[in-house]
Amino acid sequence: MDKNILVTGGAGYIGSHVVRKLIDEGYKVSILDSLINGHSRSIPKGVVFHKVDLGDLASLKNIFDENRYDAVMHFAAFIEAGISMKKPAEFFANNCVNGFNLLNEMLRHGVKKFIFSSTAAVYGDPVQDLIKEDHPLKPVNNYGVTKLIFENILEMYKKSYDLQYIALRYFNASGADESGEIGEDHSPETHLIPLVLKAALGKMDEIKVFGTDYDTPDGTCVRDYIHVNDLADAHVLALNKLFESEKSDVFNLGNGKGFSVKQVIDSAKKITGKNINVVEGERREGDPAVLVADSTKAKDVLGWMPKYTSIDDIIKTAWTWHSSNPEGYND
């Protein structure tokens, strides 16, 4: 196969896993990443790497002038919902304006296929037990708003400029490649599984549980953890679909099973064999009790089937990464 895919944010957590999967499937891959939150160590040897910020329009134009791409996968964004409430302008600039410039440059060069990293945060507070793609779109944080704005731009561009896109709404990305060579290393880290494993490694004194009186089986919040390599499989299936059918679409990507904060901590204790200090605290504002995906559409249309359905299997792979890289990428 000689298809060439540009992956923005390919040195980040999810992008780096998708890059490996694309290479395994025979795609040629180029990465564009400013490394603002990415890691050079995650970039496989031999992959073309453009260390460029999407806000640098001249460099972006040069990259498209000098290379021919068949599709773009767009992971580059700011991701931390809490920070988005304090710095909305930065989130809007990066997640909307930079993405918008990328789209325009692609289209000027005749590249029409686009895979977008969207998020469950576009839904806001759930009104269904299992969230489907037609759930109301009412994000409750600025991060979710920026992703929804961008989804709307994609739809406009589809109608007016024949853009062909697939937006993938991930729930809680988790785990790591079984090799232990790449994994999750965000700064600041706010995701539960890496925080719990940092506590197991003694890098944090304790893990705080926000709320133990929710209407859930054990009183703690329930979330949908989807393994990063299952996300990678879905990206390749979505890309293949775009090459076959040119039909734009939106899919949820979740495990379909919820796990509570307490279940995650218990699993981590079992797998690591370490003591983890747990401190119970008050609920946080804006945290719904349960957020779980209905991913039937991705299964039916893309033929996707997540392989990591148990929380133990997910945490095992995360532990392989964290225990062999206790300082993360350290770059």
Ligand X SMILES: NC(=O)c1ccc[n+]([C@@H]2O[C@H](COP(=O)([O-])OP(=O)(O)OC[C@H]3O[C@@H](n4cnc5c(N)ncnc54)[C@H](O)[C@@H]3O)[C@@H](O)[C@H]2O)c1
Closest approach of ligand X to the CB of residue 312, in Å: 19
Cβ nearer to ligand X, comparing 164 with 252: 252
- Return the biggest CA–CA distance within the chain: 57
Choice between 263 and 274, CB closer to ligand X? 263
Question: In the complex, what is the shortest distance from the CB of residue 85 to ligand X, in angstroms, rounded to a whole number?
Answer: 15
Q: Which is nearer to ligand X, 113 or 235 (CB)?
A: 235
**Closest separation between CB of residue 14 and ligand X, Å?**
4
Output the smallest distance, CB 96 to ligand X, in A.
11
Q: Cβ-closest residue to ligand X?
A: 12
**Cβ-Cβ contacts under 8 Å for 104 (sequence gap 6 or more):** none
Give the closest residue to 315 by CA, choosing from 194, 207, 209. 194
Give the residue among 164, 180, 140, 157 at the shortest CA–CA distance from 238.
164
109: left (phi over 0), alpha (psi -120 to 50) or beta: alpha
- The CB-of-76 to ligand X minimum distance in angstroms stands at 3
Q: d(Cα 303, Cα 305) in Å, to the nearest integer?
A: 7
d(CA 34, CA 40): 10
* Residues in contact with ligand X by the rule CB under 6 A: 8-9, 11-15, 33-38, 53-55, 75-77, 79, 94, 98, 117, 119, 170, 172-173, 186
Nearer to ligand X, 144 or 212 (CB): 144
Of 25, 27, 20, residue with least CA distance to 178 = 20
**Nearer to ligand X (CB atom), residue 131 or residue 212:** 131
CB of 200 to ligand X, least distance (A): 20
* Residue 102 vs 207, nearer CB to ligand X: 102
> Does the active-site annotation cover 13?
no
Half-sphere exposure (Cβ direction) of 228: Cα atoms closer than 13 Å? 27
Which one of the listed residues 69, 123, 143, 170 is annotated catalytic?
143
Contacts of 268 (CB under 8 A, 6+ apart): 193, 196, 197, 200, 276, 315, 319
Sequence-distant (6+) residues with CB within 8 A of 152 are: none
As a whole number of angstroms, the distance between CA 156 and CA 111 comes to: 16
Catalytic residues, by residue number, are 143
